[in-house]
Amino acid sequence: MKQLWLLCMLVTLVAMAIAGQAIAALETADQQQLQKQRDVITRYLDADGRAKFATAVGKLGTLRALLSAHIFKPTQTYELQSMGVVLGDVFVQDMGFSWVVVTDEHGRDLAVRFKNTSVILYPLTMISKRVERGDAIDIFELYNGLADQAQQLIDKEQKQ
């Protein structure tokens, strides 16, 4: 059931990416903002943690530790979205996505996109929305489920 939900969510995100959106490279201010949000997370790491954080698994492990310790309250949206930045970085590091800016009639959002495909994910709110709802999050399960579904969409799009 959870896999079906993830697939529906991902298909919705891809469909939204196609309909009336402009995709652009990050501006300097966007890059600075992402770094500030990464810094929110890395300030909790010691030297050993920083070394591990260099890997995708280390980033996910850091997120898991922060979630398990309930470091951020559901009302700390900025900090929770900072965790989403790190989750996005895992897609970049592990799967070859890149950070982009998506603009549509609702505004401007940072997202990760797989190469020049329509596969776009919005990781900034993937953690914050769940924590705000009071959901338990297995960050490895979340990432692996999304990565599997994204890969299926990437494969399908590349065959067309």
What is the band of 160 on the pLDDT scale with cuts at 50, 70, 90? Answer: confident
Please state the rounded mean pLDDT for residues 103-127: 96
Q: Is the dihedral of CA 42, 43, 44, 48 positive or negative?
A: positive
3-class SS shares of the chain: helix, strand, coil, % to 5: 65, 15, 25
Distance from C-alpha of 1 to C-alpha of 18, rounded to nearest angstrom: 26
Residue type, 13: L
Q: DSSP states of 14-56 as a string?
A: HHHHHSS-EEEPPPHHHHHHHHHHHHHHHTT--HHHHHHHTSH
Beta bridge partners of residue 111, listed in sequence order: 100
pLDDT of residue 3: 54
Task: Tell me the CATH number at 53.
Answer: 1.20.120.1090
Q: Which helix (H) or strand (E) holds 93?
A: helix 77-95
pLDDT value of position 79: 98
Q: pLDDT digits over 117-143, tens only?
A: 999 999 999 999 999 999 999 999 999
Q: How many angstroms from the chain centroid is the CA of residue 107? A: 18
Residue 47 has pLDDT above 80, yes or no: yes
Residues of the domain holding 68: 2-159
As for how many domains the chain has, the answer is 1
Give the mean pLDDT of the chain: 91
